[in-house]
Structure 1
Amino acid sequence: MKQTIPLLICLLLSLSSDAQEAVDLFIWAGQSNAQGWTGDAAAYPVDDTTLDQSILLNWTFFGQTSSAGEWVPMQAQAGRYPAGHFGPEVSFSRELKRAGYHPAIFKYCLGATGLARDWKAPGAGGIYDHMVEDLQTAIAALKQKGYRVQVRGFIWIQGESDAGDEAAANAYGSNLQKMIDHLRTQVLHRQDLKILLGVDEQHAFVQQRPVVVEAQKNLANQDPNIIYTSMYGLPKADATHLTPAGLVGHGKRIFSAFRIVNGDTREASSSTTFADQWEFRGIAVEEAGYNIWGSSPILGDDGKVHLFVARWPCELKVDPGWRTHSEIAHYIGDSPEGPFVFSDVAIGGEIGGVKGNAPHNPAIHKVDGGYALFYIANDGIQGHPANQYICLAVSESLDGPWKKAGEDGVILRPPSNPDYWNHAAGNGVNNPAFLQHPDGGFFLYFKSEKARMGLAVAENLEGPYVQLPFPVTANDRNIEDGYAFMYNGKFALLTTDNHGMIESGGGILWTSEDGIRFDHYEKGFHRINAYTELEMNSVAVHYGPQDREYAKLERPQLLLKDGKPWYLYAPSGSNIYGGDCTVSYVLRYKGE
């Protein structure tokens, strides 16, 4: 084996050490929408993954309140509302953190301020001069704390006030250029500093004098290190200010713009995503009297497609039926699009005389000439879902017989170390995603605490699997049901997007250079509605909100051909044809 577990651990430690030694500094400035004028902290976006604790913030609302020059964790800032308020910097910095940066946000704002009237030219004693002085002090403080400061960008969300005055509007382009030049050459000494500009295009003053927008766009057109960002379509609380949701969306837009101008994610900025490559082909598995769930495909030596499917009696409903009566059934089809015919029950309530209650969510793989069938089980409804664990059965044939791995088939349980991120996890460890590492050994991804993905590694197929002490995804909202594969030379995880990191009810394609830190993502698949026309009034919803306006795919599993995506199989809590039970669907990959 070319790469051993100890080597992986050493790599992880070195990566973590590097991240702690440096901070990525972003200067955030402008007027009310940069400040977050109507960003009532009562609606502060939930931080389920505690990302905010690892993001630094130094904030000033000029002439009003501030963090007193101190660097504090990302948080709502005092003023405006009883609970404080926040701006787009929150979602912006969280996206940075998820992308592998160690963000430090220097925020310097004040609502209703003009560049000409209030910020003024460098050296004229305006807000800009005060910002520069406080910025230099803040950078010195970071260095004193032992950080290596990397200045990454300057975000300037401003222009509405200047658009309210004819002379200020006409001078806006020149004034903005002078400020940027001074900041780059005299303050930060970085001529290639990334500049992100924005203004509310729909503001009444800007509509009256669009020369302000044109000035920002002209600067972006003339300088490859400047980019213009739009606020069109973001929800507003009034004619001027974004709602809390609008501020969150704005921060994500600015992050996407930074990725483009920084040149590090051109693929993600493409108009075509992984999600756009799928074509809906219809039902994969439908079985009278059974709810159908996770459908894991594999090409057999017989040239047929074999699906290993979780199923249980439809009369027990989706929940709690899957927790108590799930079994793993084997279906066979002559083609990837079926029809698929039931063959046998691969794994029932027990295997080899060993208890394995409600085996569920299978993942089938060919390994060294044999077959490995991963699945989850539990110890009964009383302790569910905290008592979930991952099992493995092996066979020389897809038709079985299947033999448990080790003594009882269990290869991974929640860690006993209280310092691990998922110790005593409320959902145990579940939903395995298996990958043979290109350099040898085996990676086993799984879902655990707060619906994040973890990783365990082993030298041998049957283990022992050693869990790493941290999650590999930094999602702030629920994801699950990963499928692991190599894609364009990178490690990839295809997961659901349960609560809208990109779009609620869609999917996410995560990618990683090392399979350990998944810091880039794009949309992995759309809602079912995007692939085929649906009349939601005719859809039978067996799992999930009855009034949901879309149908979502669950537990995505890929059929690969020559190592590339070929077909996608996924169940849904919604039977889009109105049937009495759930079914799984199949989509064909259109890309090369």
Structure 2
Amino acid sequence: MSRFPLFNLVLICLLASCSNPEKQSPKITDFSNLLLPAVKDGGFNMDNYWIWGASAIKGPDGQYHLFASRWPKQYPFNQGYVYHSQVVHAVSEKPEGPYRFKDVALTRRPGYWDGKMTHNPTIQQWEDTYYLFYIGSTYEGESPDGDSLSRIRQIYKKPAYKNIRIGVARSTSLDGPWERLDTPILAPQPTGFDSVVVTNPAPYINEDGSVDLIYRTHIRGTGNRLAYARADHPLGPYRRVLQAPISTAIVEDPFIWKQDSTYYILAKDMEGSITGEKHAGVFLTAKDLTQWTLGKNPKAYPRTVKWADGTQTVQGSFERPQLLIQNGRPTHLFAATADGPGGFRNANHTWNMVVPLKSSECTRPGMAY
């Protein structure tokens, strides 16, 4: 029997453990440890537009396709999206970008529930079809101009906000056209815990086509909460699994994924009571989607961004987290970001940025990140 030096034997074992990703069972205990420096000229940006909430996927053409929200800067940021946002499509040869605008994926369609606004897209694939989850709204009359919107202080009391619903569109091509349903897949209940609003859909499509949908609602006098609905097919029908929030955490902007039998959520810490930093990222984990717990380190990311050139900045906003999943593992974190000191009314510019993540390709079975 031949003898190998110890180094060669270790190398062979490591190569064997990396050759079959299906046998890897890494458990993410600290998402913040995955963050790598971001490229300053990456992401998605458009002159004269507010940009928000990007979701990306690699297409059969080898390019990365990104879906994001945009609305003209002639309207104030926070009020403007409710009336004027649309979902757009951009492409890049690299996952970190920069992404180039290609087309408007979801245009206005008068007479429907999403006739005047589409926003917060998330792209998913099941079998040979792509599913674009989003929120939409409609309202009576003409769209208000910038001056009129600037005078609105309680946008959440306006019909345009109250009419927000969750929907899904489908296509066999990332270039569209996108077939939309005539009705939303989820709307507020007349009474109950999610009677105020249902928004910010975070779907996970299982191998059999069933969907676990985490979404955000608002409970009067309590704040934002996450809720859980389910469907046997991406197009629905969707049913609430619980008539209550799935967590007591005051968060929004969820993103859900599953890795080796464990579910994970990234979300935005609304008050900083969880992470110690207002609007930082929250990391939750679960085996059962109805019972979520905070991760060992509940702070997924700060608003301080480290750049590849060695500098760092504190972003006014760093939210709407979404992940690019490749070969069953997260490889890049996409986030909506803004300049300024913080707060939607203080931003002069917004865009979507990308943070590369450490690879788990050669993680040994059972090893935590």
- TM-score when normalising by structure 2: 0.75
Which of 552, 555, 559 is 2:320 aligned to?
555
Give, in whole Å, the separation in 2 of the partners of 1:352 and 1:394: 20
The alignment partner of 2:317 has SS state of coil
Q: Secondary structure at the match of 2:50?
A: strand
Alignment-mate amino acid for residue 514 of structure 1: D
More strand by share: 2
Change (3 A) 1:362 1:535: closer
Instruction: Give per-residue Cα distances to partners, 1:63-105, cap 9 Å, x unaligned.
Output: xxxxxxxxxxxxxxxxxxxxxxxxxxxxxxxxxxxxxxxxxxx
Sort the Cα spacing of 1:558 and 1:535 in 2 relative to 1 into closer, same or farther, 3 A: closer
Structure 2 residue 164 is matched with structure 1 residue 388: yes
Instruction: Give 1:557-572 correspondences, 5 Å limit.
Output: 557-572=322-337
Provide closer, same or farther for how the CA distance between residues 319 and 354 of structure 1 changes in structure 2, counting only shifts above 3 A: closer
User: Can you give the 5+ residue segments of structure 1 that lack an aligned partner in the other structure?
Assistant: 1-266, 537-549
Runs of 4+ more than 4 Å apart: 351-355
Is 1:490 paired with 2:262? Answer: yes
In the alignment, what sits opposite 1:462?
Answer: 235
Query: What's 1:585 paired with?
Result: 353
Q: Report if aligned partners of 1:527, 1:552 keep a CA contact under 8 Å in 2.
A: no
Q: Return the alpha-carbon distance in structure 2 between the equivalents of residues 458 and 535 of structure 1.
A: 41
- Indicate whether 1:404 and 2:141 are aligned: no
Q: How many residues align?
A: 300
Please say if residues 278 and 525 of structure 1, whose CA atoms lie closer than 8 Å, have aligned partners that are also in contact: no
- The answer (yes or no) to whether the contact 1:495–1:524 under 8 Å persists in 2 is no
Q: C-alpha separation between the residues in 1 aligned to 2:74 and 2:174?
A: 29
Do the aligned residues in 1 keep the contact of 2:280 with 2:318 (CA within 8 Å)? Answer: yes
Q: Which has the higher helix share?
A: 1
One-letter identity of the residue aligned with 2:298: K
Equivalent positions of 1:213-252 (< 5 A) are none
| Cα deviations by residue, 1:419-452 (Å, 9 ceiling, x for unpaired) | x322x22xx1000000123565211110002211
Secondary structure in structure 2 of the residue aligned to 1:275: helix
Deviation at 1:528, TM superposition (A): 3.5
Q: Pick from 284, 291, 305: which aligns with 2:64?
A: 305
1:278 corresponds in structure 2 to 35
How far 1:531 moved relative to its partner?
Answer: 2.2
TM-score by length of 1: 0.48
Per-residue CA distance 1:479-498 (angstroms, 9 max, x = gap): 11111101343111111112
Q: Which amino acid is 1:456 matched to?
A: A
Tell me if structure 1 keeps the 8 A contact 2:126–2:209.
Answer: no
Structure 1 position 516 matched with structure 2 position 290: yes
For residues 264 and 357 of structure 2, the distance between their equivalents in structure 1, rounded to whole angstroms, comes to 16
Superposition CA RMSD, Å: 2.4
1:496 counterpart letter in structure 2: K
Query: d(CA) in 1 for partners of 2:62 and 2:111?
Result: 29
Q: Residues 523 and 327 from structure 1, CA distance in 2 versus in 1: closer, same or farther, beyond 3 angstroms?
A: same
Change (3 A) 1:301 1:517: same
Q: What whole-Å deviation, never above 9, does each CA across 1:396-426 have from its counterpart, x for those lacking one?
A: 1111111112x33x1100123x3x322x22x
- SS, match of residue 555 in structure 1: strand
Look up the equivalent residue of 1:559 and give its one-letter code.
L
CA gap of 1:440–1:393, structure 2 versus 1, over 3 A, is closer
Q: Which of these residues, 434, 446, 464, is aligned with residue 203 of structure 2?
A: 434
Structure 1 pair 389/355, CA: closer, same or farther in 2 (3 Å)? closer
Alignment of 1:527 with 2:292, yes or no, is: no
CA distance in 2, matches of 1:582, 1:490: 33
Secondary structure, counterpart of 1:285 in structure 2: coil
Q: What 5-or-longer segments of structure 2 have no aligned partner?
A: 1-26, 140-154, 361-369
Query: Percent of pairs identical after alignment?
Result: 30
- Structure 1 residues 256-288: Cα deviation after superposition (integer angstroms, max 9, x where no partner): xxxxxxxxxxx89x7xx2113112223401111
**How do 1:124-523 residues align onto structure 2 when only pairs under 5 Å count?**
273-279=30-36, 280-282=38-40, 283-350=42-109, 355-380=114-139, 382-405=158-181, 407-408=182-183, 410-416=184-190, 418=191, 420-422=192-194, 424-425=195-196, 428-437=197-206, 441-449=210-218, 450-468=223-241, 469-475=243-249, 477=250, 479-500=251-272, 501-502=274-275, 503-521=277-295, 522-523=297-298
**Offset at 1:525?**
3.1
User: Match of 1:480, SS?
Assistant: strand
CA spacing shift, 1:344–1:439, aligned 2, 3 Å: closer
Change (3 A) 1:302 1:443: same
* CA radius of gyration, larger in: 1
Q: How has the CA–CA distance of structure 1 residues 527 and 460 changed in structure 2, closer, same or farther, with 3 Å as cutoff?
A: same
Larger deviation, residues 345-354 vs 436-445: 345-354
